[in-house]
Homo-oligomer: A and B are copies of this chain.
Amino acid sequence: MAGATERSYGGVPLTRRREERRARLLAAGLELFTSTGYQQTKITELCAAAGMSNRGFYQEFETKEALLLELYAKTNQLAHDRVSQTLTTLETADPAARIDVLIDVYLTAVTADPRLARLNYVEAVGVSPAVEALHVEWVERWSDLIEHEADRAADAGLAPRRDFRLTAIMIVGAITGLLREWQTHAARYPAPDIAAEAKALIHASITRRA
């Protein structure tokens, strides 16, 4: 009845083993969802790839969708953390430079592993209301960030003062769409070229006078 103390098996405490299994399932999910496809991936396959039995899965996740949601959130969270952290170190930089860095950091994060791009921009699209809701949430978050940068640019006189909301949403959609296409041609088009296109796009959208 020592419910408080943690029993360890094989010298490894419960929480650690859970973490490890969780990590292995996430890795297996990323791999299979982006090769076999999300819908086509069976729970059993997932477990096999993660080196555990069918049951192990249900110990960690409610459903396959929950695993997808976590993968999606994790990727975005990581990218967002990196971007916002980088931006705080550039507090004094000029708005144009901030935007370039923003793009670079984001693209580096999501193109480092093409599977992440495929996961986020193909496999996680239209899966379920819950996934769509999470997507919308992240679009909001990214739009806020871009809108804020656009406002800074306007303050600095680099862009006209106006409501950048729709523009920000469009930019998020555009980058998303760009990467959605990129991941099928990843071999052909290097990430830096993508970044150049994205930068041109975002600068033009914000500074346009129309």
Contact = CB atoms under 8 A, between A and B. Distances in A.
B200 A205 contact: yes
B185 A169 contact: yes
A166 B180 contact: no
A189 B123 CA distance: 27
Contact of A139 (B179, B181, B196, B199): B181
Given A170-B181, A174-B178, A204 B193 contact: no
Residue from A170, A179, A210 having most chain B Cβ neighbours under 10 A: A170
Contacts of A203: 204
A175 to B, nearest CB: 7
A185 B140 CA distance: 12
- Residue with the greatest number of chain B CB neighbours at <10 A, chosen from A37, A139, A174, A175: A174
A155 B147 CA distance: 36
Interface string A116-134: 0000001111111100100
A210 B195 CA distance: 12
A6 to B, nearest CB: 40
Given A123-B126, A173-B177, A178-B174, A200 B204 contact: yes
A77 interface: no
Contacts of A125: 122, 125-126, 180
